Structure 1
Amino acid sequence: MSATNPSTSQRSSVSLRSSMKRPSPLEHESPESSPRRQASVSFVDDAAHQRQPSESSFDDRELDGSVTSTSTTTHSALPPPRQLSFSESLAVLGGDYILAGIKDALLFPSALIVIYSSRTIQVAIVKCLVLNGILLLGSIALFHLFVSPVIKALLDSPGSISSPASAADALPASERFGAVLMTIYHIFLLYPIYLVSFVLSTFWYQEIANRSFRLQVGTPRPMAKTYESLLKMVAGEVYHAILILIVSIQTSLVYNLIPVLGPSLSFVCSAWMFSFFSFEYKWIYQGWPLEKRIDYLEKRWAYFLGFGLPGAAATFFFPTMTSQGVFAIIFPLYIIMANTATPLPPSRSNVALHWLLPKRAPFFRLATHLNQLWINRLKKGR
């Protein structure tokens, strides 16, 4: 069985692996804190609400700067943002926002410090490495480096069981027999390891996210434990899963149906998905609803594009199962780094981009629209 096209690899690896299990803050451990990076452009800092997950309100107005500050300088006293030219706007998007995302996505030393400080995180990461790095990727490497060449050599040898009566039938017979042996190898070894990795890794991601959030940010917001809240949570999970499925299909269709630019656009979509899943644990622990998470990412599309670029580059170009294995190894690091990242621009920026450049990237618009249509049909059917 040959390596699959990268059009099916990154879409499934990033989306399905991360959407299976949502965080559930059940542990109660003492939090620690860590310093944050200062933005490279002079902005009015709005990161306080990100650093305080237990605040009583996570109003959507925090995203557009309409919440006034508790300091003596109020929002009405702030000067209007300076309108940038087109070239200045491009420089800010690329040189500040995207670059800031890339820098935050490469802060591996800070992630390693957090890993070193927590036994819980260490154990979970070792499990990810053993299952995905050694068993899954090791089995794939064994197949390509040993099993496949041996099967090919046996089929090409004189007097092999696949040797046909005539030379004209040699190639089809050899290919058919080789395909059967490779399919058996995949069904009885690779696919079971892949499925076990898929399920177990989601639990280990949650352990890593919960403990790292407590160490770097604070105690997660408590969740209500009523019957009504449970129903809302289940409905939200179903909505979330369908949304991610639609986004995954959308990303794959972009790759296959748009000529010339399709692979590049699909890569960009994969970077946004990687960022979304990296930050989603943090946002959920802060009590943000799904609508706010989507809105926050789409308004800071340049930063999250930069943050997701390294992860997308590490997984996008591999076949599906190889991509899954690589993703499972690097993803815990990005969960940790997302806790202390400060996405740009802040809610109250002192600059405004040129009107020709998008204020937000409607990455989830199609998925949310289709989801809403599905919900409306369900309501009418009652």
Structure 2
Amino acid sequence: MIRSIENRRVVLGQEIPNCEMELKGLREMMKKVGFLWFEGFREACCLHRVIILSLRSKRVLLRTGQCFLLNGLIFLGSLFLLNTLIIPTLSWILPHHHHHYSFLRLSLIHLFYVLWFYPLYVFSIVLSTIWYNDIAKYGYAAMETSNITTHKGQNDHHVKRPSGLGGVMIGIGEQVYSILLLNVFFLEVYATGFLPYIGKLLNFVLLSWMYAYYCFEYKWNFNEVALDKRLDYFESYWAFFAGFGSPCVLAIFFFSPLVSYGIMAILFPLFVLTATGSNAEQEMSFEKDKRRDAGMERLPIFYVANKVSMWLLSLLPQDKWDQMQDRKSQ
């Protein structure tokens, strides 16, 4: 009995230091996560880069102004006009207490959405997507001629493809995979919003990652960073990118879908330029060994999206599927 008690004391004596070490490691990890999240949030708020790049490139200023004009003045202005003038006027002309008037009023409002808002919404998505790419391209060109930041070390991770038709096919396949992956991830983000209790919080975090990836993807494309490198890099520095995407989501999280879209369509070019002018890659390496030394644990953010995307790609003809598999294994 006495020996059993002594053995238990020895075991407890060993467990207590182990628990202390685990708690210390957990505190260090949380400290690292908090630091990187704050750094990402701070990077997103460096909107002075937008002013610098706009002054250096008239094309950046023009495209940014066009985004504001279309999505701010026309799209959000139409919503404001509908809610503050048209609907109150219809409610006054066609009172609620009369059934036929109510039906006519709702029909007119829905007709306004069908004939104006939904076509304008689609038109805005198409045109804004083209403008976003132009803003990133002109902003990147302006940044290359300025002293805002440099991209030392990124060119070591550019896409190495064979020349000729094979390289073109691999490039197309990689683009198809990237588009499919991000669309599946978008559906995943949308689905989390319906989860009880933790759905809103999880949706906020996933939206932050999604917008952060969209913002940095332009620069990675211009720097020809390989897709597998950028995904590995993003999942390794997940805390930084969660912080970077947070201001984007905070600006739209509590509004209706149409209003949220209009606000994001105005703000997104600003965050794209902020990401383009960021020097985060100088401080956070693309190299796996350096990330391991920094104590960063990779978080498989795109695990589900990757599995679904690869399953969908497996439905392609076998020769194209083999090319995609070879590219991912490199």
Same fold, TM-score > 0.5, yes or no: yes
Instruction: Report the TM-score, using the length of structure 1 for normalisation.
Output: 0.67
Structure 1 residue 223: deviation in Å?
10
Give distance in 1, aligned partners of 2:167 and 2:70. 35
- Aligned partner of 1:363 in structure 2 is 301
Deviation at 1:147?
1.2
Give the match for residue 241 of structure 1: 179
Q: Is the 8 A contact 2:205 2:242 kept in 1?
A: yes
Shift of 1:345: 4.5
Written as runs of structure 1 = structure 2, the 5 A alignment for 1:93-132 is: 93-94=33-34, 96-132=35-71
2:255, 2:38 → 1: CA distance?
25
- 1:92 and 2:32 aligned: yes
- Which segments of 5 or more consecutive residues in structure 1 lack a partner in the other structure? 1-82, 164-169
Alignment of 1:285 onto 2:200: no
Provide the rounded CA distance (Å) in 1 between the counterparts of 2:164 and 2:291. Answer: 40
C-alpha deviations, 1:152-210, integer Å up to 9, x for none?
2222178xxxx3xxxxxx3xx45433321111101111112211111111111111111
User: Alpha-carbon deviation of 1:236?
Assistant: 2.8
Greater relative CO, 1 or 2 (CA 8 Å, sep 6+)? 1
Q: Distance in 2 between matches of 1:134 and 1:223?
A: 44
Verify: 1:138 aligned to 2:77, yes or no: yes
Give the Cα–Cα distance (whole angstroms) in 2 for the partners of residues 179 and 247 of structure 1. 35
Match of 1:272 among 203, 209, 216: 209
**Correspondence 1:250 to 2:188:** yes
Seen in structure 2, the aligned counterparts of structure 1 residues 351 and 296 have a Cα distance that, compared at 3 Å, is closer
Match of 1:307 in 2: 244
- Structure possessing the higher radius of gyration over alpha carbons: 2
Residues 223 and 352 (structure 1), Cα distance of their counterparts in 2 relative to 1, 3 Å cut: closer
In 2, the alpha carbon distance for the partners of 1:352 and 1:240 equals 28
Question: Is the aligned partner of 1:209 residue 2:136?
Answer: yes
Which deviates the most, 179-188 or 274-283?
179-188
1:154 corresponds to 2:93: yes
CA distance in 1, matches of 2:303, 2:144: 30
Once residues 181 and 235 of structure 1 are traced to their aligned partners in structure 2, the CA distance between those partners, rounded to angstroms, is 46
* CA shift for structure 1 position 291: 2.2
Give the aligned partner of residue 111 of structure 2: 184
Q: Is the 8 A contact 1:148 1:182 kept in 2?
A: yes
Contact 1:217 1:339 in 2 (8 A): no
Q: Alpha carbons of 1:375 and 1:92: their partners in 2 closer, same or farther (altered >3 Å)?
A: same
Matched residues in 2 for 1:204 and 1:303: separation? 27
Percent of residue pairs identical: 27
Give the SS at the match of 2:301.
Answer: coil
Aligned equivalents of 1:150, 1:241: Cα separation in 2:
44
SS at 1:378 equivalent: coil
Seen in structure 2, the aligned counterparts of structure 1 residues 211 and 380 have a Cα distance that, compared at 3 Å, is closer
Report if aligned partners of 1:274, 1:308 keep a CA contact under 8 Å in 2.
yes
Secondary structure of 2:316's match? Answer: helix
Seen in structure 2, the aligned counterparts of structure 1 residues 178 and 237 have a Cα distance that, compared at 3 Å, is farther
Separation in 1 of the partners of 2:272 and 2:169? Answer: 27
Indicate how the Cα distance of structure 1 residues 85 and 138 shifts in structure 2: closer, same or farther if over 3 A, else same.
same
> Contact 2:236 / 2:291 at 8 angstroms: preserved in 1?
no
- The one-letter amino acid paired with 1:91 is K
Amino acid across the alignment from 2:25:
S
Change (3 A) 1:236 1:380: closer
- Which structure's residues are more often helix, by fraction? 2
Mapping of 1:47-66 within 5 angstroms?
none
Q: Distance in 1 between matches of 2:174 and 2:25?
A: 41
CA distance in 1: counterparts of 2:160 and 2:228, whole angstroms: 18
For residue 93 of structure 1, give the secondary structure of its aligned residue in structure 2. Answer: helix
Amino acid of the structure 2 residue aligned with 1:378: L
Q: 2:121 aligns with which of 183, 194, 198?
A: 194
Partner SS state of residue 251, structure 2? helix
Query: Is the partner of 1:85 in helix, strand or coil?
Result: helix
Gaps of 5+ in 2: 1-22, 146-150, 321-330
Kindly tell me the number of residue pairs found equivalent between the two proteins. 282
Aligned equivalent of 2:277: 340
| Deviation sequence 1:267-286 (CA, Å, 0-9, x none) | 10000001000000000111
C-alpha displacement of 1:222: 10
2:257 to 290, 303, 320: 320
Give 1:237 deviation, angstroms: 2.9
